[in-house]
Structure 1
């Protein structure tokens, strides 16, 4: 008679360690903003983005995906890309607006929570080529980049409270919109590229190093604007459902019918970089 061995219990260390590092970065951003160190707070949010991109990829490379890791990652994202950017923006430039200020910050937090909940429920059926609404890391990058640029150029947040409130609130609303954002999943990262591509990548690093706050803010701001533009270009007749509510993806499916769809599929449990 053979004794059936129970599977060892526990969690995978490496991917969850990276998720914890991202969570710590988000918490650090909150603490730094409370101490008035807004540059460190903004940078911490970008660092959280790096860890958020690594944990999922490491989990897939090491075959250590798990339901626990997916849920933990989602909770960490709520702190790093939902709560932290809102508090940083509030402490930086929304205090002077009183109730309107914390309302703008709350709109961002609520929309981030709704965005993550919607993504987690649609991850198996969503079109892998697009994100439905602005991904929460990108929204956080817009808010954090705005604060970082203001600090670098000695711009006081209280002097432009309305602008800070508008950017924060609109970034939140775009997360729960139906605007289509390219996911870049069709890019073959394992394929070969010309040698000149490496030189271009080096040039990009140099440009970012010269003015990281401005370059990162402009890049993510352009990506944020690209969503509505991409939607207006691909939908023949814009309706309310194409902006909010239950969107019909038929127009996007028709657009892709004339081109070869990507053959790459998303592994089960990939929920880390698409929020």
Structure 2
């Protein structure tokens, strides 16, 4: 049927639609709902490629559309969330610390825009992915969906830390957040080779790393909820360093 060739692209457009909804919530600083819709978008992003393989409906248009959808869901949204989060942190800092007008202009007028480094780095990473033939069975650099979940979890972790403790202090420091933006940009475009979570056909020997990672991640999420997400991303990067990747 001619319709089946459109199924993967429809799923990709559902990813894009989820990203657009997440943008609305991000503009209104509803980080929990923004996170939820990004997670839904990433779910669709996982299955569009699977549908394309099963239905034998892979196409150059599908590849480009997938990256455009990811650019919104996993590029624009996390950049906006970090921008909004930095604005909130700056406002809290101004309320609690006596600073001069020049410092105020820096915290409010300049620093929050550092968040969009994430968006710029995501765009560059997606463009590289589209022309890099080495990334068919693994990734070079942190995938944008993983980076997006990492960034999107930070304001949620901060809001659940009860206003005290080391984690809250770290996530209340705008310079720490700016450093996280730079780290994010580096990981997205680094030469670190990371294993793919997309299972083309189940085989324990071939996919045991993915299965172990998913089981550990599920347990961590059940125990730590949002706080588990940065740990899971770190575990993903570290585990990949010890796994032989296809060249």
TM-score, L = length of structure 2: 0.74
Bigger CA radius of gyration = 1
Q: Which of 9, 17, 28 is 1:35 aligned to?
A: 28
Number of aligned residue pairs: give it: 219
**Alpha-carbon contact 2:8-2:49 (below 8 Å) kept:** yes
Counterpart Cα distance in 2 of 1:184 and 1:206: 17
Give the equivalent residue in structure 2 for 1:143.
151
**Alpha-carbon contact 1:33-1:88 (below 8 Å) kept:** yes
Deviations 1:20-39 (A, max 9, x none): 12112222222112112111
- Give the RMSD, CA atoms, in angstroms: 3.5
Q: Which of 186, 194, 203 is 1:191 aligned to?
A: 203
Counterpart Cα distance in 2 of 1:53 and 1:75: 15
Q: Which of 78, 82, 106 is 2:116 aligned to?
A: 106
- Quick check: 1:89 aligned with 2:82? yes
Q: Secondary structure of 2:139's partner?
A: strand
Give the equivalent residue in structure 1 for 2:131.
121
Counterpart Cα distance in 2 of 1:166 and 1:202: 30
Cα distance, 1:52 vs structure 2: 0.7
**Alpha-carbon contact 1:93-1:158 (below 8 Å) kept:** no
Counterpart Cα distance in 2 of 1:174 and 1:202: 24
- 5+ residue gaps, structure 2, are 91-106, 206-210
Give the equivalent residue in structure 2 for 1:211.
224
**Alpha-carbon contact 2:20-2:72 (below 8 Å) kept:** yes
Counterpart Cα distance in 1 of 2:171 and 2:204: 49
**Distance change in 2, residues 1:51/1:167 (3 Å):** same
- Structure with bigger helix share is 2
Q: Which of 141, 149, 153 is 2:161 aligned to?
A: 153
Deviations 1:229-271 (A, max 9, x none): x3xx89xxxxxxxxxxxxxxxxxxxx88xxxx69xxxxxxxxx
Counterpart Cα distance in 2 of 1:45 and 1:201: 19
**Distance change in 2, residues 1:87/1:64 (3 Å):** same
Q: Secondary structure of 1:181's partner?
A: strand
**Distance change in 2, residues 1:113/1:208 (3 Å):** same
Deviations 1:181-232 (A, max 9, x none): 23367x7852369xxxx9x9778645523433122331013324566xx3xx
